[in-house]
């Protein structure tokens, strides 16, 4: 009874909210995500790469009753059941101002209603934060990720490390490993993409196509006025003249996201990834990134990876799932 009353109130409130479709210029979108950390799936460059693969992307601004933009949502439209289209918003919307949970609920209901009227029969949303979704139906359980707040001081970040994780870092810092950053041209990081493909074939897991990395970088470089660093940050730990391990991060707005990593047997024994991740945190912090997303964790199928990510001092973020 209480839920039905809540849904009735939210439905009434949503009539005073609205959306604008594909009317927000890229400069404004990028500026919003520079101020508010958001997953790369809501980044303009990610949408551009999907368009190049043949997907249809729409970008929506959510407007409150005063006409002010309160949220941004990037949707992918796909065919559904032969006669309809399916709209998916992954880890959005991005709230560009402080919002109460009831306001977010109203905005989401407005988003779904307007999309169904204009574009598609089925609208699916995977919000990026734990929250109640009255009036929505959950069709899939949520995943989890680990995030590190880079706004903390270096001492605070160091103190947040798990004891065993920190001990491996100290040992790596005293070893012959040398931390360095890698170049941003395709020829300078192709070897890492090749190693990633070998890992996928061996361990039988899937990921974003390697070609996305180069196109992402090109788009970010153009958007940043030719900044050679673009949207990639690549760091290595070398033993002598050879790389012992490496990590690639996607840089987007106020957030950076771990993308892929590789380590040799010698690198694993020496704690190379501990050395790389810690120094990457410091470099990204210096650049002004406020959040580092270490990506998904699964304690059942990937317990070792989960321990490594959580040991770096991050917080576990459990997303509530996919809602329609």
| Same domain, residue pair 18 and 156 | no
Q: Report the distance separating Cα 323 and Cα 198, nearest Å.
A: 35
Q: Nearest Cα to 210, choosing from 226, 202, 198? A: 198
| Same domain, residue pair 172 and 236 | yes
273-317 pLDDT, tens digit per residue, is 999 999 999 999 999 999 999 999 887 777 899 999 999 999 999
Quick one: tokens of 40?
């790369």
| Whether the Cβ atoms of residue 196 and residue 262 lie closer than 8 Å to each other | yes
- Rg value, the chain, Cα: 21
| Whether the Cβ atoms of residue 186 and residue 214 lie closer than 8 Å to each other | yes
Q: Nearest Cα to 231, choosing from 211, 194, 257? A: 257
Cα 9–chain centre separation: 33
Work out the pLDDT band at 262, boundaries 50, 70, 90. Answer: very high
| Same domain, residue pair 210 and 163 | yes
| Whether the Cβ atoms of residue 31 and residue 44 lie closer than 8 Å to each other | no
Query: What CATH number has the domain bearing residue 261?
Result: 3.40.630.30
| Same domain, residue pair 13 and 129 | yes
| Same domain, residue pair 299 and 254 | yes
Q: Report the distance separating Cα 302 and Cα 263, nearest Å.
A: 17
Helix (H) or strand (E) holding 57: strand 56-63
Among residues 105, 136, 167, which one ends one of the domains? 136
Q: Is residue 21 part of a domain?
A: yes
Cα atoms in the Cβ-side hemisphere of radius 13 Å centred on 173:
9
Helix (H) or strand (E) holding 126: strand 122-126
Q: Is the pLDDT of residue 184 over 50?
A: yes
Q: Report the distance separating Cα 14 and Cα 64, nearest Å.
A: 9
| Same domain, residue pair 159 and 44 | no
Domain count, the chain: 2
pTM over 0.85: yes
Among residues 96, 116, 136, which one ends one of the domains? 136
| Pairing, β 255-263 against β 291-296 | parallel
27-80 pLDDT, tens digit per residue, is 999 999 999 999 999 999 999 999 998 899 999 999 999 999 999 999 999 877
Among residues 86, 117, 136, which one ends one of the domains? 136
| Same domain, residue pair 125 and 221 | no
Q: Report the distance separating Cα 73 and Cα 126, nearest Å.
A: 11
Q: Is residue 193 part of a domain?
A: yes
Domain that residue 12 falls in = 2-136
Q: Is residue 324 part of a domain?
A: no
| Same domain, residue pair 298 and 150 | yes
């Amino acid at each position: 009874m209480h839920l039905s009353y809540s849904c009735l109130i939210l439905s009434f409130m949503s009539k005073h909210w609205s959306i604008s479709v594909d009317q927000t210029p890229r400069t404004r979108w990028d500026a919003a995500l520079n101020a508010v950390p958001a997953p790369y799936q809501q980044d303009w460059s990610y949408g551009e790469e999907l368009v190049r693969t043949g997907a249809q992307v729409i970008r929506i601004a959510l407007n409150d009753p005063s006409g002010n933009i309160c949220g941004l949502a990037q949707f992918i439209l796909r065919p559904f059941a032969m006669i309809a289209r399916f709209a998916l918003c992954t880890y959005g919307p991005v709230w560009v101002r402080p919002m109460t949970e009831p306001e977010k609920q109203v905005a989401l209901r407005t988003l779904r209603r307007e999309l169904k009227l204009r574009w598609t029969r089925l609208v699916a949303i995977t919000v990026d934060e734990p929250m109640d979704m009255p009036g929505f139906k959950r069709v899939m359980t949520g995943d989890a990720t680990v995030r590190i707040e880079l706004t903390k001081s270096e001492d605070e970040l160091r103190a947040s490390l798990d004891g065993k994780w920190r001990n491996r870092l100290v040992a790596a810092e005293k070893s012959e490993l040398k931390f360095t950053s890698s170049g941003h041209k395709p020829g300078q990081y192709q070897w890492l993409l090749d190693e990633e493909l070998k890992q996928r074939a061996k361990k039988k897991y899937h990921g974003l196509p390697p070609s996305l990395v180069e196109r992402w970088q090109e788009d970010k470089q153009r958007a940043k006025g030719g900044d050679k660093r673009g949207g990639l940050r690549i760091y290595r730990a070398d033993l002598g003249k050879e790389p012992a391990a490496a990590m690639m991060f996607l840089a987007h707005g106020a957030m950076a996201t771990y993308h892929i990593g590789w380590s040799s047997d010698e690198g694993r024994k020496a704690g190379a990834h501990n050395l790389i991740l810690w120094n990457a945190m410091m470099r990204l912090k210096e650049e002004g990134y406020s959040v580092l997303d270490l990506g998904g964790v699964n304690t059942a199928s990937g317990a070792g990876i989960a321990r490594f990510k959580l040991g770096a001092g991050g917080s576990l973020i459990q997303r509530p799932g996919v809602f329609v």
